[in-house]
Amino acid sequence: MTQEAQPDTQSVLTPEVKAMIGVEGELIESWGTVDVEYLRRFTQAVMDPDPRYWDEDFAKSTHYGAIIVPPIMVSYMTQRIRPEAEDAITEAFKENPMSDGIGSVKRPGELPSIPTHLVRTLNAGNEIEVYQYPNIGDVIFFQNRYHDIRERVGRDGKAFLIITREITYTNQNKDLLCITRQSSIRR
Amino acid sequence: MAAQIRNFQDIQIGDEITPLLKEIGIARMMAYGAATWDFIRLHYDADYARELGFEAPFVDGQMMGGFLAQQVQDWAGPGAFLRKLAFRNRVMAYPGDSLTCHGVVTEVSSTNEGGIVECDLWIENQRGEKVVEPASAQLRFPLQTGG
């Protein structure tokens, strides 16, 4: 169990950290479009044979009238590195032969770092709110934002942060598709 | 498969969301990393994972979201709209694991937008450990038919 920080606990929710709540990244156009090949690769990877993702005749018979795309799939389009950018894998191993595979390569639209001495990061939950299923041919735009930063105190009496990052996804018509929120613990 | 039609009117609190079994293998983990442009070595490089103290490469936690979305969508049918999904990873999943997605309906309500169904979800491995918990989904159904 955790609890809110007490007055005698050294707070890690400094004014500089608090000021990061609401900070947004640039609005980024993801490279490429939502296409059938990406849809096939994704559904194969998660072993989802649902015909509404590949059978046009079946899809026409549904409420949506056409093939649709799992909303969670477009959230990965933020990871795409544009071809004119430095290759992420090359860069990662150039800086460190024992790289984790990503290294310190900056993704487009990244948020500035949280100004804290806390370095250990643990996943604290994921959430997706869906407003509209994406369609084949959609161009995806996304924008990062620090949604919330809270302080809690662990069993050891030390304060830590729960940082929630939000990404908003829209299409070429500015339709809101979905919002993802990922919370992480910073100790 | 998701081709079944489920009518909102037939759904009740306590209904089981049909379980979904996923057998995890390293090739599937590689396929997932490639599909999602995620090159983190912890998900495919056994030597690297062991050097960092893990027994083997482990499954990308986000993959669980794909499994849960499929589970609820398969149960709900093609007319239902997955409005919200939330989940928290608790235990690592490794190649060779058998993961079963479970769920139960916790709330049913009619709104102007349609029929709303709330579910609690979780994923267990073959040892009965909760790999994902808590998790939840909210689905929206057309009020007249599920198709």
- Domain assignment present for residue B123? The answer is yes
- Domain assignment present for residue A158? The answer is yes
- Domain assignment present for residue B118? The answer is yes
Total domains in chain A come to 1
- pLDDT tens, position by position, B6-20: 999 999 999 999 999
pLDDT, residue A148, reads 97
Preferred mutation among B4, B44, B60, B85 to probe A, highest tally of A CBs within 10 A: B85
Across the range A75-89, mean pLDDT stands at 84
- Domain assignment present for residue B69? The answer is yes
pLDDT, residue B147, reads 43
Across the range A10-15, mean pLDDT stands at 92
Q: What is the CATH number of the domain that holds B118?
A: 3.10.129.10
**Strands A159-170, A141-153: pairing kind:** antiparallel
pLDDT, residue A96, reads 84
Total domains in chain B come to 1
- Domain assignment present for residue A105? The answer is no
Distance CA A159, CA B77 (A): 45
- pLDDT tens, position by position, B51-68: 989 999 999 999 999 999
Q: At what angle do helices B26-35 and A36-45 cross, to 10 degrees?
A: 150
Query: Is A65 part of the contact surface with chain B (CB cutoff 8 Å)?
Result: no
Select from A42, A52, A133 the Cβ nearest to the Cβ of B35: A42
- Domain assignment present for residue B15? The answer is yes
Residue ranges of chain B with pLDDT lower than 70? 1-3, 145-147
pLDDT, residue A156, reads 87
pLDDT, residue A4, reads 64
Spell out the residues 6+ positions from residue A186 whose beta carbon is closer than 8 angstroms to its own: A114, A116, A118, A119, A120, A121, A160, A161, A162, A163
pLDDT, residue A99, reads 85
Containing structural domain, residue A138: 15-31+111-186
Q: Which of residues 33-92 of B touch A (CB under 8 A)?
A: 34-42, 45, 48, 61-63, 65-67, 69-70, 73-74, 78-79, 81-89
Q: How far is B124 from chain A (nearest CA, A)?
A: 17
pLDDT, residue A3, reads 63
- Domain assignment present for residue A160? The answer is yes
Closest to B6 (Cα-Cα) out of A134, A63, A177, A73:
A63
Select from A62, A76, A124 the Cβ nearest to the Cβ of B37: A76
- Domain assignment present for residue B94? The answer is yes
Given an 8 Å threshold on Cβ–Cβ distance, is B36 in contact with A76?
yes
Give the residue with greater pLDDT, A140 vs A74: A140
Distance CA A160, CA A51 (A): 45
User: Half-sphere exposure (CA, 13 Å, Cβ side) for A19?
Assistant: 7
Distance CA B140, CA A76 (A): 24
Containing structural domain, residue B130: 8-24+60-141
pLDDT at A8 over 80: no
Task: Return the residue matching tokens 């050891």.
Answer: A156
Q: What is the mean pLDDT of chain B?
A: 93
pLDDT at A97 over 90: no
- pLDDT tens, position by position, A30-47: 999 999 999 999 999 999
- Domain assignment present for residue A46? The answer is no
- Domain assignment present for residue A104? The answer is no
Band of residue A62 on the pLDDT scale cut at 50, 70, 90: confident
Q: What is the CATH number of the domain that holds A21?
A: 3.10.129.10
Closest to A53 (Cα-Cα) out of A33, A80, A35, A79:
A35
Q: What is the mean pLDDT of chain A?
A: 90
- Domain assignment present for residue A174? The answer is yes
Band of residue A181 on the pLDDT scale cut at 50, 70, 90: very high
- Domain assignment present for residue B45? The answer is no
pLDDT at A79 over 90: no
- Domain assignment present for residue A72? The answer is no
Select from A46, A63, A126 the Cβ nearest to the Cβ of B147: A63
- Domain assignment present for residue A117? The answer is yes
ipTM summary value: 0.91
